[in-house]
Amino acid sequence: MPVRPQTDRPASPRLPNAAPHSLADRIRRRVQSLHPVVWPVGFGALGLVGATLLHFVDPNEPGNYPTCPWLLLTGTQCPGCGTMRAVALVTHGDVLGAASMNPLLVFGFAPFLAYSYVRWFGDSLRRRTSPRRAAPLWFHWTLIVSILAFWVLRNLPWFDFLAPGVPLLPGW
Q: Is residue 91 part of a domain?
A: yes
CB count within 10 Å of CB 17 equals 5
Round to whole Å and give the CA distance between 109 and 99: 12
User: Residue 2 falls within a domain, yes or no?
Assistant: no
Least confident of 108-112, 129-133, 134-138, 150-154: 129-133
* b/e sequence 61-98, b meaning 16+ C-beta within 10 Å: eeeebeebeeeeeeeebbbbbbbbbbbbbbbeeeeebb
Q: What is the pLDDT of residue 48?
A: 95
Residue 18, pLDDT score: 53
Element holding 100 (H helix, E strand): helix 95-101
Whether residue 139 contacts residue 145, with contact meaning beta carbons closer than 8 Å, is answered with no
What pTM was computed for the model? Answer: 0.72
Task: Tally the domains of the chain.
Answer: 1
Greater pLDDT, 36 or 13? 36
Residue 15, in any domain of the structure = no
Q: Is residue 30 part of a domain?
A: no
Structural domain includes residue 43: yes
Q: Is residue 22 part of a domain?
A: no
